[in-house]
Amino acid sequence: MSTLRFSIIQTSLFWEDKGANLDLLGQKIMGINEPTEIIVLPEMFNTGFSMQPEKFAETMDGPSVDWMRRMSAATKSIITGSLMISENGKYYNRLIWMLPNGQCGVYDKRHLFAFAGEDQHYTPGNKRLIASVKGWKINLQICYDLRFPVWARQELAQVSDKRKKVDTFNENAVSSTLVTEYDVLLYVANWPEKRSHAWKTLLTARAIENQCFTIGVNRVGLDGNNIAHSGNSMIVGPLGEVLYHCAYEEAVFHISLQKEEIDNTRSKFPFWKDADFFHIQ
C-alpha cells in the first residue's frame, strides 16, 4: 500500500516583508519533528497577496527560490508554495515544486483574480503541472483556480486491447480501461474570510467530482489591505469526507494519505465510465 505524507502550514504572513516571512516559515519547517515527504506553504508565502511585483518579484535564481532549495535539502522533503517571479519582462504568480536534489517544477497561476487587479500585474500561465511522487500524481494549482472546474477536471485516457473479446457476438469488440490523470489535487491560497464558504464547498466538490484527495492550504490574519483570512485549510477524501479542517489558528498539520483509498473508491464507484472525453490545451 503506497502512503504519501504531507505537512501543511497554515500561518499568518508579514505584509511584503520577505525576510520576516522566510524566517517565520523556516522556523516552522525546521520545527517539524516527524518524517514527512511534502511540505505545503500558502500562496505568495514570502509577501502576502501583493500587487507590487515590480518591487518584490525575484528571478528563479533569487533568494526566495534559493531558500526553498536549502529548506528542501535540509529536510529531505519536497517544499511547495507560490511567490512572485520575474521572467522575460513579465511577472508570474508561480508555484514552485522544489525537490531535495535542487531540481524544481513550476506552475504559473492560470486564473488571475481580476476582482483584485491581479490580471493587471501578472501574466497567466497556459499549462498545468502534474507532479509524480512514489507512484502518486499530484495536480498543482493556485487559489482562484479553484473556481474553474474544467481546469482541474480529470482528463481521461482510454486504453484499449483489441485482442480481448468483450462480446462473443462481436469479435471486434474493444476492452477499454479508463486511466485518470492524478490522485491528489492541491491548492495553495490567500483566500479571504468573507468567501470562506465558497472555499470549503468548492474544495469538497473538486474532491468528489474527480474522485481524488483534495488539499487546500490557506493563510490566516489580516493582510496589508486589511483583508481578513480565516485559513480553513482542508484535506478532503475522494468521497467528500473532511479529513482535516482548521480555521483561524496558525497550525502545522501532518497527514498520511493512502493510495489504496483512491483505488478502492474508483473501483467501487466506477463513475468514470460515464464521463465525457475532452482535452485541455
Which sequence positions are flagged as catalytic? 43, 109, 143
H/E segment holding residue 267: helix 259-268
Question: Taking the alpha carbons of 130, 133, 137, 141 in that order, is the dihedral positive or negative?
Answer: negative
Q: What gap in Å lies between CA 230 and CA 246, rounded to an integer?
A: 9
Quick one: cell of 208? 468528489
Quick one: cell of 198? 465558497
Quick one: cell of 88? 522575460
Helix 63-75 / helix 18-30 crossing angle, nearest 10 deg: 10
CB 185 within 8 A of CB 212: yes
Chain Cα centroid distance, residue 178: 24
Quick one: cell of 110? 492560470
- Non-local (6+) Cβ contacts of 61 within 8 A are none
- Non-local (6+) Cβ contacts of 68 within 8 A are 79, 81, 96, 98, 104
DSSP 3-state of 141: strand
Strands 3-10 and 251-258: antiparallel
Of 214, 78, 217, 93, the closest CA to residue 154 belongs to 214
